[in-house]
């Protein structure tokens, strides 16, 4: 999956890089891959693409002087990026795992409806369902430029897409 386009539609491109690298190297690799993939996708010179990253602000991609939405997510062994030509995007990836305190986590961060749905889910399927719900929430928050906080009864308004990934990963895109 090194530098693979995972999904593309509606002016959004999702890129994945699978590699077990130290965190700094993984970040550098996905950023370089984003520039190369965007250049190929838009048929422009890679020199016309700049990635801006300021601490505390969402990253931006400048495509021949025009800003595009950009979002990154990392988990051990996998980095994802989403580019949105028409505005904000959010992406999140998570390794499926059993979380013993899943009920409190879901109630506190995903809301009562999702907590109820997870409680009704068969135990064997719950870790994947929780990971999918968590990545959807995180992607929507990134899309909206918000930080993770306990559930407040509101969910950001956006389109949502589960992304096809090999096990043990799940990912969500908000656009």
CA 72 to chain CA centroid, nearest Å: 6
Same domain, 101 and 83: no
The percentage of residues in the chain with a pLDDT greater than 70, rounded to a whole number, is 99
| Summary mean pLDDT of the chain | 94
Same domain, 114 and 74: no
pLDDT tens across 62-110, in order? 987 789 999 999 999 999 999 999 999 999 999 999 999 999 999 999 9
Q: Is residue 72 part of a domain?
A: yes
Q: Are strands 49-52 and 60-63 parallel, antiparallel or unpaired?
A: antiparallel
- Cα-based distances in Å from 108 to 19, 44, 83, 85, 91: 33, 45, 30, 33, 21
Same domain, 55 and 101: no
The domain of 102 spans: 95-155
Same domain, 135 and 107: yes
Q: Is residue 174 part of a domain?
A: no
- Compute the distance between CA of residue 100 and CA of residue 112 in angstroms, rounded to an integer: 18
The CA-based dihedral angle spanning residues 80, 68, 35, 22, taken in that order and rounded to the nearest 10 degrees: -40
**Number of separate domains in the chain:** 2
pTM of the model: 0.94
Asked if the model's pLDDT at residue 129 lies above 80, the reply is: yes
């Amino acid at each position: 999956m090194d530098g693979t386009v995972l999904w593309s539609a509606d002016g959004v491109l999702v890129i994945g890089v699978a590699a077990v690298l130290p965190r700094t190297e993984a970040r550098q690799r996905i950023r370089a891959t984003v520039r190369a993939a965007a250049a190929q996708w838009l048929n422009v010179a890679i020199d016309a693409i700049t990635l801006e990253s300021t601490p505390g602000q969402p990253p931006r991609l400048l495509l021949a002087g025009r800003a595009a939405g950009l979002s990154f997510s990392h988990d051990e062994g996998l980095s994802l990026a989403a580019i949105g030509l028409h505005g904000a995007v959010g992406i999140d990836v998570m390794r499926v795992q059993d979380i013993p305190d899943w009920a409190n986590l879901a109630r506190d961060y995903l809301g009562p409806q999702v907590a109820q749905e997870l409680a009704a889910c068969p135990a064997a399927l719950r870790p994947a369902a929780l990971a999918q719900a968590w990545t959807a929430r995180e992607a929507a928050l990134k899309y909206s430029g918000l930080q993770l906080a306990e559930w407040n009864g509101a969910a950001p308004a956006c389109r949502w897409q589960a992304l096809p990934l090999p096990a043990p990963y799940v990912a969500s895109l908000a656009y």
